[in-house]
Structure 1
Amino acid sequence: MSQQHSNEINELLLEQASEWLVILSSDECTENDRQAFKQWQQQSPQHQAAAKRMQTMVDNLTQLTHPQNQILPSKIIRDALDDQTKFEFEPPHFIIALLALFTITLAWYLLPIQYWMADSKSSYDGWRNEKLTDHSDIRISGHSAYNLHFDQQQRVVELLDGNILVDVAKDAKRPFVVKTKYAAITALGTRFMINQTDGQTILTMLESKVKVETAQQVQLIYAGQQAVIDVSGKISVKNIAPTLMEQAWNKQSLAVEEMPLDQVLGILQSYHRSKLYYDKKQLHSFRVTAVLPLNDQQKSLNLLQDSLPIQINDSIPWVIYINKKD
């Protein structure tokens, strides 16, 4: 196993452990929840290590924020690790402290500070149009965020995460560039869509063309083409139906043509609060051609499950597992 793959697994397990922290600390936590956590952390030594690391982190955070109560937050995971079935709480001050600690945990592991400080951002169910100072239009949707860097020489949109549809206003003196984690996209025309997800930038050209520059190559992408840029900067291009793509956006839906399932799930994640867990390599071979509703998570996942040999498990609140059927 490569170091990179190992790190991805560790981060995934830490996210799961933090979600268990919320479940176990809830007033609605049941004996079944505690048994489910026990089963989860017994899956492997890595699961146990993730739970213990989360316990240590909670201890450290408590010492920074509420040193007089430092035993209480750590007790949440420690009791579960020790398979104790009785949890003692002291509301409301403990719940308030826990929420503060978990907010910090989310900020560290799940919600980058750049999102909260972005010039523009939207929530998972957000859809809106924005007019820029140069008269360009940006439509933003889902859990998205971007910064603007406009001056007399350039117009740069720094897309941190999420989904935008751009209609670029003409300005011969100032190029219009969208920068993502993996590419710089310079408009040589007007309209295009970008989905920035974990591990990929997806560019869909609606009109005219753009120049894409990555660490590996420079390439022109034309109307009717879709480019996927991966973490290494490799660009993969295929033909699509641009009118269908934009019509779907206008109806708060996602249109995909022969797109690998893991890429589809990456886009869907930005529209849904529940965390989607899946093995990218395992699902990459499945190709999806569909129009999926982005305002109805259950319906979109059901459509995928009905048409592909996959199994969806949503038995844990706010967590959804997507696996290949055995």
Structure 2
Amino acid sequence: MRAIDALRDEAVAWLIRVQSDQATADDWAALTAWLEASNDHLAAFEEIEDLAAELDARAAEIAPAVNTTASLVVPLRRRAALPVWAAAAAAAVLAAIVGPMVWRDYQGTPTVYQTRPGETRQIVLADGSRIRMDAASTLRVQLGWRERRVQMAEAQAAFDVAKDPGRPFLISVGDQQVRVVGTEFNIRHYDKTVRVTVRRGIVEVRQPALGSTPVARLVAGQSLSHVEGAPKSVQTSADPDPAFAWTQRRLVCDDETLGDMVAYLNRRYPTPIRISPALASRRFSGVLELGDQDLVVKRLAGYFSLSVHRTDRQIELR
């Protein structure tokens, strides 16, 4: 118990140190080293952060009892004479007054980016990285001190990551993690299938459930395909241009099934296209210009000798 109390005391001291107006870059670097030295350090610091968050939420109740910031600072300089939780509470109130939560800054503030069906979007992050999002996609981005993280749901996105060797760019997609420090690549994550294609630089792919050893290191002109839950991935040589073609409003198909094509077009356009299960296995090779939806549907219908039936709510190919 004394060891836990001692760690809480240290966490309080760190919180006060880095939230001070006199905090320097060296102070922040020292805190980072302390947090990374032990999981117990991190747990103690998060405990103090939780208390600070609770007191911040109850600021209206606490404010009348707080006369001045100085009244908080003086006793903390002799915190050994205070019960640990009294010191922690005082430090938490001080943190709420002085500035934002340290640990949130350390991890980075999460930001969610979304596109609707039929909408694409380009994002420029604070570090200079650029992300082009395809339609019906969701990304959650956190730019922390030591890592840049992205969580990728059902989505397709092209990444041009600003180089920063001291702060790797980590993308969690399905049951895999993609790690880079500065490169250009495309990730497609639909229907529990992940496909990574590299245009520039080196991309490291891990499967956390299999351990920390990378399952692949991809260079320009290489691609990796993986089905979630499978123990292995398939790595091949690949021209990256077809994977990036969607950014130029084109869909490049190489023996693609009509079912997969329609599933993608239903993300790309707001009016859904319907086909029967019997048609889904038919295949197509070629390039579709992703302009007007009616023209796309007309070309597909012509290639497969189908008829088009359109209502206000959907387009049916028969």
Seq. identity, %: 22
Q: What does residue 318 of structure 1 align with?
A: 313
Q: Greater relative contact order: 1 or 2 (C-alpha under 8 angstroms, separation 6 or more)?
A: 2
Among 177, 193, 196, the residue aligned to 1:200: 193
Q: What does residue 176 of structure 1 align with?
A: 169
| Cα contact 2:266–2:273 (8 A) shared by 1 | yes
- Specify the code of the residue in structure 1 equivalent to 2:313: W
Equivalents in 2 of 1:264, 1:237: separation in Å?
A: 23
Structure 2 unaligned runs (5+)?
1-109
Deviations 1:61-107 (A, max 9, x none): xxxxxxxxxxxxxxxxxxxxxxxxxxxxxxxxxxxxxxxxxxxxxxx
Deviations 1:218-243 (A, max 9, x none): 22333223333223345334443223
Among 149, 160, 164, the residue aligned to 1:156: 149
Among 262, 265, 273, the residue aligned to 1:265: 262
- Specify the code of the residue in structure 1 equivalent to 2:241: T
> Number of aligned pairs?
204
| Cα contact 2:224–2:234 (8 A) shared by 1 | yes
Among 246, 249, 254, the residue aligned to 2:251: 254
Among 279, 285, 302, the residue aligned to 2:298: 302
Equivalents in 1 of 2:307, 2:151: separation in Å?
A: 34
TM-score if structure 2 supplies the norm length? 0.54
TM-aligned CA distance change 1:300 to 1:212, over 3 Å = farther
Equivalents in 2 of 1:307, 1:152: separation in Å?
A: 52
TM-aligned CA distance change 1:238 to 1:303, over 3 Å = farther
Equivalents in 2 of 1:313, 1:120: separation in Å?
A: 35
Question: How far 1:155 moved relative to its partner?
Answer: 1.0
Deviations 1:29-77 (A, max 9, x none): xxxxxxxxxxxxxxxxxxxxxxxxxxxxxxxxxxxxxxxxxxxxxxxxx
Among 271, 275, 284, the residue aligned to 1:274: 271
Equivalents in 2 of 1:306, 1:225: separation in Å?
A: 34
> Which deviates more from structure 2 when the two are superposed, residues 140-149 or residues 193-202?
193-202
Equivalents in 2 of 1:314, 1:232: separation in Å?
A: 39
Counterpart check, 1:242 vs 2:237: no
TM-aligned CA distance change 1:172 to 1:198, over 3 Å = same
Question: How far 1:291 moved relative to its partner?
Answer: 2.1
- Specify the code of the residue in structure 1 equivalent to 2:142: H
How does 1:71-82 map onto structure 2 within 5 Å? Answer: none
TM-aligned CA distance change 1:150 to 1:213, over 3 Å = same
TM-aligned CA distance change 1:204 to 1:195, over 3 Å = same
Q: What does residue 143 of structure 1 align with?
A: 136
Equivalents in 2 of 1:282, 1:118: separation in Å?
A: 40
TM-aligned CA distance change 1:193 to 1:213, over 3 Å = same
| Cα contact 2:138–2:155 (8 A) shared by 1 | yes
Counterpart check, 1:290 vs 2:283: no
Q: What does residue 132 of structure 1 align with?
A: 125
Q: What does residue 203 of structure 2 align with?
A: 210
Equivalents in 2 of 1:261, 1:236: separation in Å?
A: 23
Partner SS for 2:268: coil
Equivalents in 2 of 1:208, 1:318: separation in Å?
A: 44
TM-aligned CA distance change 1:262 to 1:204, over 3 Å = farther
Partner SS for 1:270: helix
Question: How far 1:152 moved relative to its partner?
Answer: 1.7
TM-aligned CA distance change 1:194 to 1:280, over 3 Å = farther
Among 192, 201, 226, the residue aligned to 2:223: 226
Structure 1 unaligned runs (5+)?
1-116
- Specify the code of the residue in structure 1 equivalent to 2:173: T
Question: How far 1:317 moved relative to its partner?
Answer: 3.6
Equivalents in 2 of 1:218, 1:277: separation in Å?
A: 38
Q: Pairwise CA RMSD of aligned residues?
A: 3.2
